[in-house]
Amino acid sequence: MEAISLIVGLGNPGSEYARTRHNAGFWFIDALAEKYQARWNTDKKLQAETAKITVSGHSMHLLKPLTFMNVSGRPVVAGLHYWKIDPAACLLVHDELDLAPGTARLKFDGGHGGQNGLRDTMAQLGHGGFHRLRIGIGHPGHKDKVTPWVLGRPGAEDAVAILQAVDTAIGVVPMLADGRINDAMKQLHTPAAK
């Protein structure tokens, strides 16, 4: 399987969204950039903040769209074209309603499950042939409560669990850089990784 060379965190820009559940992708990418001491630069052409890190001797691009979640596909596709990266070597990190807080799961391809950042990226690409890292945020229990839930901030316990999932997922990034996607999946998907 192809090594990951572009990691995209999905979220909404602006301080009012910073610690919301919907910004779990930003929580991840910010923590990853901090761990590898990356410096963010604003790229107006890509409509994104970008950074570069070296993991296990491999270069990886990081991207945070500056557009809102529902139009984040444009910066993602612009980054893929700019760096000449195949979508199969791209990892989109996003919040996942169907997973409990504290859970992180890897997946390749599939539907968007109502996640607007994935929906727009798939619409821009014309397919879903990229990797996803799903950060669990839990479900409010009823579909009518989803919007305020994802745009709200998690309680203290859930916030700690989400950050633990982020930390666990950052631990498998060296495997992703090496192209050991299945090993990374096994590590994240075993009960000990929860």
Positions marked catalytic: 22
Other C-beta atoms within 10 Å of 173: how many? 23
The DSSP output letter for 155 is P
H/E run at residue 39:
none
Q: Backbone dihedral region of 2: left (phi > 0), alpha (psi from -120 to 50 degrees) or beta?
A: beta
109-164-75-67 Cα dihedral, nearest 10 degrees: 130
**Rg, C-alpha atoms of the chain:** 15
CA distance 59 to 151: 33
Place of tokens 């791209």: 90
